[in-house]
Structure 1
């Protein structure tokens, strides 16, 4: 007959596979009773041997290998996106985490009338001056100064005025005060002062809480752990999610060692209809003597390179048992970075002969293609892209929902039907164009091709280049350089999931996210437009990548402008640091590109034509790398027997000395706004795509050939 324990094993078999079988029964019993008994065997130490807390076997106990298994409660389950908000809403949680992480809390702002008062009392110097001038004691002088709101001249007059005149003045003061009281202005003034005092107190308290939340957020990356789980989407497909959690005081005190004596694992206990309860468990994998410190290995098994394992530990600097495991290895990582930097500097690239055309040759090729292609009575287009459906108005266009009969297929989804294409058909994608539209792929392509060009910021794949990134970070720290980085998902647009930080632990721990990310050095000295950050969106048409590259950029571009003036004081202020507003809750400022150019030339001593030429060269360099490099790193060598083109959105920023920085290249960009600026936008693109429209010359007027 099946028992409750048998059911427990069946339900949790995948988790139990990592736990010695002899501990399954005790674990089952403890889970059933929520029995947290680690305190019977272990105790917290502070400052021994580490600055914060560590966990030790009690002096009168010992632990044998696989002899016990202990439950660890989770003090906090959160997400990086909501963590600060949750802290601010839960003062008890904030206080517990400060204690757990050994954070020294700043004193709470004093709430008193004396603190809030603008009257700080007379200075000793003023008191002595008034006492000397009025020939009175310092006590009388202080009283007079307080009565006259620290006005020295009024205090002296108050003390030296003739008694009869003073009596008349006092009567006049009383009469005026009675009139003020009768008018209600005194009460109004008092209410205004009380409101002002309350607002100052509230602002101080808000700043104090924000500082505490920011400190916890900064330090939590050294304590937070993760586990992954799947949920079913509406289409029935599973998607992986990551839960971020911090263990209780016992679990958080278990520090790292490369020679650990316990294993710590997350364990999600299913109570059937009662739901799931997340715990962690730990058990000894060695005999641990009385008083000995308890340690685990915090490095994930997914890290294979020894240098990456070392780099990962920099997220746990104050939780590593032996400082030497980190401190003596700083030089090793900076040397890895310096060697990598030198190799990138020495990277040389020469495009294969005939692969890259000059702009004049590419222009001639486009004209030749148009002239040699007879105009067709109707060109059949199949598209699922709304702005194409709405704005394609060429007189011989005909739409269809059947891609098999279309002359041109334009889709916003990944195209897969390469083998089914006929010779007369043109499709709007190249195989493997993710080599430039995925951020980590473009970074790798640029590094392999050009090394470290000045038009691209240092960028690292957190999943595969952890030691290179940490080496760069430590080297910048050593040289006293600004160490700000922005983390971005490999394949998300619209400004989603971006974070700016100088916190090494936070960046390293992005390795544990289910959303793979890059870390890119943050441009701290951008060119500004009226004090605000901006980036420029260019639409680039690649008409072909093989056998030679033919590409052109639309002359109209658009400027995305931050809503607030740029500063580095508040990295969390989206409207100050970011420019993509049309997909956010914030208002968007749109700038006509001609007005933008006019105002830039007024604001700065530049000629935009020169800046634009540098931007065009940088964008072309990305395309040259892709067209010259074989798949899977680039686009070349696909043995393609079909006709293809692609339209990319290039995002570009300028440095404060007007040099272009390529930020990213976007797949199938939303061009609705471009169509609103220029109703002929789509017509011009299709005119260059296919000479069968008979409008190639007209379309070329809207482009500059790269």
Structure 2
């Protein structure tokens, strides 16, 4: 067939889509079935699968409804419910109500709205519900009929406020109360609540969850209740330091509303307990007088995930060994019992299951991380939060991505998509029974006709009632930080990440490079003594056009040139190919990638100086994702701002750059290419209410001794919109970014006008700021010379663009360093702002100035750094 004809045969389908089929990994035996379904637009998954709600409606899962399905026996088309570029996501949701409603339902972030609707309908159908007083009297009456007293009282979601709680006089009516739940009410005052609950002499459990009192209080006020109620074992779903038989019995299924327990306990209360789930109970010390093998002799299953246990690992292992029937354990890995599943099983050889996985499978594969039973990370939202914001936050749990390309060019912006309800219900498993892969079908054989689908096929034999799963990180192992990346979807152990972050910071803070004494500079003009000119070869049009000084002459032959000024990387192969020699000057330094690539720049500074205040905390997500997650959790714990900017290692024009406070987004964005994550400057200095940065030109004559110069003129680049920290603005390019050469309206100012207006607006002296910037520039290049002494080459001269931002205290922050060709392209729009004796002149002076400084050692319009 010829490209452009509609595909009609299987052979043509395979011929056109061969690379895509191979990339998708679909078995060849399924090619025919796939072509038939694509040709007839057949979506028959509903005949084989069913989507079921799980976890109280907060999630969904996919169940096989057919009798069985053999491995690689069939393939299904999964539609894409939403496809978009990241910068367009919010706009699409805001403009298409049906889309946001569908996404909210698919991502289960509308369940509270549904509950309100159902509640309203129920109230209409069932009449007026019983008021608080009636509930209290009803509980008393039922207890009397049984010849007992009320020991368990649930007064939830009844709009009880502080005054009403006092008026109910609960301690007098329920003197034997053991458990009290006041969840979901309107309690706000600690003193009033404390007056009531401290009168209960036997209270073992108190739940105040989802009351304003917990959202607006300080921890020390919350401790008042714990101090005044020494019998409490459970407080707001957490264990107290006093937890004992009752709390363990509650988690073991013995004590509940129907069997609340007794006011005193015998030693054999826990003898029959076989299963105890005490996950996420904020337990710091597990071993006490109740949690012992002698008290729980029948215990076979134990879940201790999500607790900040502080006991010694060996002590915990020895205690767990002593439980005679313990065969199944769930614990954070890495965590309190060790760094690997294999190590835990070696210490507890009687375990048959660890984190839901058979011990034999773990021992066979020697897996060091068990992630199949991790607790899901559910999206969070406030009751009044709009659906658009809920979806924007939750979508990172569902998104998948691809990037388009043809024979000539790869698309620079990735495409993100959400699979339809069936595809999105597939949950994660380390040992999945299905595989999913994106696929572009081109019915006319051209990319323009492409329709995107996902393909779903079984990779194991599956039977009726089985849950269908996929590996969210297919092909990604621990060498690519699998365990850390699972944090995007699961609640991984925070303590581990925080510990790794703290170790990382200790290592960085030990790096304290001291610059050596300045060496004497002996630089001089490179002009030949015989009066001849310097011949310049360049493949940059601006050099050929604007370099007009008589000391220089453009040549078309690189072999004939004294100076090579190129946009190409000059390595040994290139020198050999072009016939270059060691006697020619080149406009780049060896290993300059150590400063012009964003991940290397941060690493260079950190190796030399640790964490100087002029560079934001920065993490290479390919190597230090674990430490970034730890930093994020520490900031979250301490109530600090947590906004991050993600930048590709080596892309310009802010391509594939994102701003987010969502840890799942930070992790998922790795999928569109290697990136750094850098702490966003949330409070920058503003100019007329807008964000700005400064592009400086740095000219480097030598790295050893260091001989660098800062141009007196810089470019102030301004955002077009007023600055905002409203999360709705994070995708607004013209609010948070300043490079408008490629998007938006160009909005730059020349140096003199900017300095004058900035000093007037902020009542500061620019000279003091300039001194700090020069100090930062010096420290930057000193760091590079120290960490990479191999950068020095006597035949190198270079120009770099250095981008700087000021924080609200007017302290400089290094953003990035741009190498010569990129710097040239970025400056071509600003050429008319280039200078001569302080006056704005045409761009023809720019390269005359640059070449004069670098090769004739002139110092006009520059400051030595």
Tell me if both proteins adopt one fold, taking TM over 0.5 as the criterion: yes
Q: 1:447 to 1:301 in 2, by over 3 A?
A: farther
Query: Pick from 531, 539, 547: which aligns with 1:392?
Result: 547
Shift, 1:375, TM fit: 7.0
Rate the CA distance shift 1:554–1:357 in 2: closer, same or farther, 3 A: farther
**Where does 1:59-208 land on structure 2 (aligned, <5 Å)?**
61-104=67-110
Question: Take 1:653 and 1:328, find their aligned partners in 2: how far apart are those partners?
Answer: 35
| Match among 801, 813, 818 for residue 666 of structure 1 | 818
> Structure 2: how far apart are the matches of 1:328 and 1:533?
36
* Alignment match of 2:617 (pick from 458, 469, 475): 458
CA distance in 2, matches of 1:31, 1:665: 48
Q: 1:281 to 1:584 in 2, by over 3 A?
A: closer
SS in 2 for 1:348: coil
Q: Which residue of 2 aligns with 1:365?
A: 522
Quote the offset at 1:47 in angstroms: 3.0
Distance 1:405 1:218, change over 3 A: same
* Cα distance, 1:10–1:240 mapped onto 2, change above 3 Å: farther
TM-aligned CA deviation for residue 293 of structure 1: 2.4
1:652, distance to aligned residue in structure 2 (A): 0.8
Is 1:558 aligned with 2:710?
A: no
* 2:735 alignment partner, SS class: helix
Give CA-to-partner distance per residue, 1:569-625, whole Å, 9 cap, x none: 2333433322223433224141434x4444444444654333322211212222222
Q: Distance in 1 between matches of 2:819 and 2:440?
A: 39
Residue 404 (structure 1) aligns with: 559
**Alignment correspondent of 2:486:** 313
Return the alpha-carbon distance in structure 2 between the equivalents of residues 395 and 18 of structure 1.
62
Q: Please state whether the residue corresponding to 1:472 is helix, strand or coil.
A: helix
Map of 1:284 onto structure 2: 458
What is the distance in 2 between the residues matched to 1:537 and 1:645? 20
- Pair 1:57 & 2:230 matched: no
Q: 1:349 to 1:677 in 2, by over 3 A?
A: same
* 1:465 positional shift: 2.9
Closer, same or farther: CA 682–241 of 1 in aligned 2, 3 Å: closer
Within 5 Å, give how 1:572-591 maps onto structure 2.
572-591=731-750
Instruction: Decide whether aligned partners of structure 1 residues 35 and 422 sit closer, same or farther in structure 2, where only a CA change above 3 A counts.
Output: closer
In the alignment, is residue 261 of structure 1 matched against residue 441 of structure 2? no
CA-to-partner distance for each residue in 1:538-592, whole Å, 9 max, x for gaps?
A: 11111122x4322111122232233344331233343332222343322414143
Aligned to 1:611: 769
Give yes or no for contact 1:232–1:239 (8 Å, CA) kept in 2: no
Q: 1:376 to 1:676 in 2, by over 3 A?
A: farther
CA contact (8 A) 1:333 1:467 kept: yes
- The structure-2 alpha-carbon separation of the partners of 1:84 and 1:404, relative to structure 1 and needing over 3 Å to count, comes to same
1:8-23 → structure 2 map (5 Å cutoff): 15=21, 18-20=25-27, 23=30
1:510 aligns with 2:669: yes
Q: What is the distance in 2 between the residues matched to 1:565 and 1:239?
A: 31
> Matches of residues 295-374 of structure 1 in structure 2 within 5 Å?
295-305=469-479, 308-316=481-489, 326-350=490-514, 358=518, 361=519, 364-366=521-523, 369-370=524-525, 374=529
> In structure 2, do the counterparts of structure 1 residues 78 and 373 end up closer, same or farther at CA, with 3 Å as the change threshold?
same
Distance 1:622 1:82 in 2: 37
Query: 1:407 and 1:675 mapped to 2: Cα distance?
Result: 29
Cα distance in 2 between the residues matched to 1:10 and 1:218 = 41
Question: How many angstroms does 1:290 deviate by?
Answer: 3.7
Distance in 2 (CA, whole Å) between partners of 1:229 and 1:572 is: 22
Q: 1:573, 1:609 → 2: CA distance?
A: 33
Q: Assess if the C-alpha contact under 8 Å between 2:714 and 2:750 holds in 1.
A: no
Superposed CA deviations along residues 48-78 of structure 1, whole A, max 9, x for unmatched, are 47612221233x7444544544332222332
Distance 2:759 2:626 in 1: 43
Residue 398 of structure 2 corresponds to residue 245 of structure 1:
no
Residue 649 of structure 1, CA deviation: 0.6
Per-residue CA distance 1:190-237 (angstroms, 9 max, x = gap): xxxxxxxxxxxxxxxxxxxx954444333222212124553122xxx6
The Cα of 1:43 is off from its aligned counterpart by 1.1
Separation in structure 1 between the aligned mates of residue 453 and residue 755 of structure 2, nearest angstrom: 58
Q: Secondary structure of 1:690's partner?
A: helix
Contact 1:456 1:661 in 2 (8 A): yes
Distance of 2:565 and 2:483 partners within structure 1: 47
What is the DSSP-based 3-state SS (H/G/I as helix, E as strand, rest coil) of the residue aligned with 2:437?
strand
Residues 519-534 of structure 1 correspond to what in structure 2 (within 5 A)? 519-534=677-692
Q: Match of 1:232, SS? A: coil
What is the aligned partner in structure 2 of residue 380 from structure 1? 535
Question: What is the CA–CA distance in structure 1 between the aligned matches of 2:540 and 2:415, rounded to whole Å?
Answer: 36
Distance 1:302 1:676, change over 3 A: same
Cα–Cα, structure 1 residues 42 and 49, in superposed 2: closer, same or farther, change >3 Å?
farther
Cα distance, 1:655 vs. partner? 1.9
Specify whether residues 263 and 556 from structure 1 end up closer, same or farther in structure 2 by C-alpha distance, changes over 3 A only: same
CA spacing shift, 1:74–1:330, aligned 2, 3 Å: same
Structure 1 unaligned residues grouped into runs of 5+: 108-209, 317-325, 631-635
- Candidates 578, 590, 598, aligned match of 1:431: 590
Query: What secondary structure is seen at the aligned counterpart in 2 of 1:374?
Result: coil
Aligned-pair Cα RMSD in Å: 3.4
Partner of 2:171: none
Distance in 2, Cα, partners of 1:497 & 1:303: 25
Does the aligned pair in 2 maintain the 1:57–1:292 contact within 8 Å?
yes
Residue in structure 1 matched with residue 154 of structure 2 by the alignment = none
**Contact kept? 2:645, 2:680, Cα under 8 Å:** yes
**Contact 1:105–1:212 under 8 Å retained in 2:** no
Secondary structure, counterpart of 2:631 in structure 1 = helix
Instruction: Kindly state the Cα deviation for residue 250 of structure 1 after the two structures are TM-superposed.
Output: 0.4
Q: Does 1:683 align with 2:689?
A: no
In structure 2, what is the Cα distance between the partners aligned to 1:584 and 1:29? 44
Report Cα offsets for 1:672-701 as digits up to 9, x if no partner. 43563404543333223223xxxx4xx213
Q: Are 1:357 and 1:548, in contact at CA under 8 Å, matched by a contact in 2?
A: no
Deviation per CA, 1:355-378: give whole Å up to 9, x if none.
x663xx56x433xx2399637342
The residue aligned with 1:568 is 725
User: SS in structure 1 opposite 2:431?
Assistant: coil
Distance 1:388 1:23, change over 3 A: closer
Question: Structure 1 length normalisation: TM-score?
Answer: 0.72
User: Is the CA contact 1:485–1:521 (under 8 Å) kept in the aligned structure 2?
Assistant: yes
Distance 2:846 2:403 in 1: 45
- SS state at 1:404 partner: helix
Say yes or no: does 1:218 pair with 2:393: yes
Residue in 2 that maps onto 1:539: 697
Aligned to 2:525, what secondary structure does the other structure show?
Answer: helix
Partners of 2:511 and 2:393 lie apart in 1 by: 37
Rounded Cα–Cα distance in structure 2 between residues aligned with 1:390 and 1:21? 57
**Alpha-carbon distance between aligned partners in 1 of 2:853 and 2:458, rounded to the nearest angstrom:** 69
The change in CA–CA distance for 1:376 and 1:425 in structure 2 (over 3 A counts) is farther
Deviation digits for residues 504-539 of structure 1 (CA, Å, limit 9, x no counterpart): 2222221111x4332211101222334332222211
Following superposition, the deviation at residue 393 of structure 1 comes to: 3.8
* In structure 1, C-alpha distance between the alignment counterparts of 2:55 and 2:687, rounded to whole Å: 54
Q: Where does residue 192 of structure 1 map in the other structure?
A: none
**Structure 2 CA distance for partners of 1:13 and 1:685, relative to 1, 3 Å:** closer
